[in-house]
């Protein structure tokens, strides 16, 4: 092999590594999506078994988290990426950290579902939390899609979804507290519903984080503490 063949080979190998990283993140994302879906279904269908599967499978999410991080460290050490290649690796490190925590929140929802499956379904707050769950699930799907295509416009849409989810969460909180005051016996059940809503709201925040990393990768700018309005103005669709 002469020098230029070697360089070509090296760069092919490098690209393959980066591609592997992206694929692994999407694999982890798919697993986390499944976990969230099962957790919400467990809540909807009062199926404790589904919830128990989520709790039992969380270790798989954690294992992917560790192995992707290891791969990132290896790629940095061996390939010494710079510019957008380095941004990709950093984006992967941050994205998997959020995916792992979305997995934890799904586990929390599953635990509530396991507990509440044994009690009578309460007031119509259940419908609202199921609706919130569906919205959050779609949001996660959308942010993984944005990651797969490194699509800034879609990432911005995810941030808009998050605003809606925050409003819905606030409203569920208020309604839950009103119900508690009306019927104190329902407090334990309502607290579980409120915690589930809270877990979903946190998942929304984490999807939003992933969007910010996508913008960082594509545009080279860290927008984590920038307002949505500013982000749209600078990077949004014309």
Shortest Cβ 217–a copy of itself spacing (Å): 12
CA contacts within 13 A on the Cβ side of 171: 11
Q: Considering beta carbons, is residue 147 or 213 the nearer one to a copy of itself? A: 213
- Residue 208: Cβ within 10 Å count: 23
Q: Can you tell me which of 17, 33, 41, 65 binds a copy of itself, judged by CB under 8 A?
A: 65
- Six-digit token pair at 175? 């309604």
Any alpha helices (H) in 80-227, and if so which ranges?
83-116, 125-149, 152-182, 187-219
16 forms part of the interface with a copy of itself (CB under 8 A): no
C-beta closer to a copy of itself: residue 22 or 94: 94
| Binding of a copy of itself by 73 (CB under 8 A) | yes
Is residue 90 part of the contact set for a copy of itself (CB under 8 A)? Answer: yes
* Cβ 119 vs Cβ 48: under 8 Å: no
Determine the 3-state secondary structure of 127 from DSSP: helix
CB closer to a copy of itself out of 61 and 157 = 61
**Of the candidate residues 49, 70, 170, 234, the single one contacting a copy of itself (CB under 8 A):** 70
> Are 203 and 132 in contact, with CB atoms under 8 Å apart?
no
Applying CB under 8 A, does 170 fall inside the site for a copy of itself? no
Within residues 21-40, the interface with a copy of itself by CB under 8 A covers none
**Minimal distance, residue 64 CB to a copy of itself, in Å:** 11
- Where do we find the tokens 């800034």? 152
Site for a copy of itself in 179-238 (CB under 8 A): 180-181, 184-185, 187-188, 191, 222, 224-225
> String of b and e for 95-124 (b: at least 16 CB within 10 Å)?
bbbbbbbbbbbbbbbbbbbbebbeeeebbe
Binding site for a copy of itself (CB under 8 A): 59, 62-63, 65-66, 69-70, 73, 76-77, 80-83, 86-87, 90, 93-94, 97, 177, 180-181, 184-185, 187-188, 191, 222, 224-225
């Amino acid at each position: 092999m002469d020098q230029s063949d070697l360089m070509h080979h090296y760069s092919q190998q490098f690209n393959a590594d980066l591609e592997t990283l992206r694929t692994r993140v999407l694999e982890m994302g798919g697993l986390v999506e499944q976990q969230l879906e099962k957790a919400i279904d467990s809540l909807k269908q009062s199926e404790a078994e589904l919830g128990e599967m989520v709790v039992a499978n969380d270790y798989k999410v954690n294992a992917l988290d560790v192995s992707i991080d290891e791969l990132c460290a290896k790629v940095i050490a061996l390939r010494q990426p710079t510019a957008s290649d380095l941004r990709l690796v950093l984006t992967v490190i941050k994205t998997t950290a959020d995916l792992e925590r979305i997995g934890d929140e799904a586990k929390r929802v599953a635990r509530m579902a396991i507990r509440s499956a044994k009690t009578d379904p309460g007031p119509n707050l259940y419908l609202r939390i199921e609706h919130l769950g569906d919205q959050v699930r779609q949001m996660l799907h959308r942010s993984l899609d944005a990651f797969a295509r490194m699509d800034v416009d879609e990432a911005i849409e995810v941030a808009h979804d998050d605003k809606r989810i925050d409003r819905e969460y606030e409203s569920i909180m208020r309604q839950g507290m009103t119900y508690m005051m009306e019927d104190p016996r329902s407090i334990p059940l309502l607290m579980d519903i409120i915690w589930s809503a809270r877990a979903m709201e946190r998942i929304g925040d984490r999807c939003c984080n992933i969007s910010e990393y996508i913008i960082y990768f594509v545009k080279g700018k860290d927008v984590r503490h920038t307002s949505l309005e500013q982000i749209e103005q600078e990077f949004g669709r014309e």
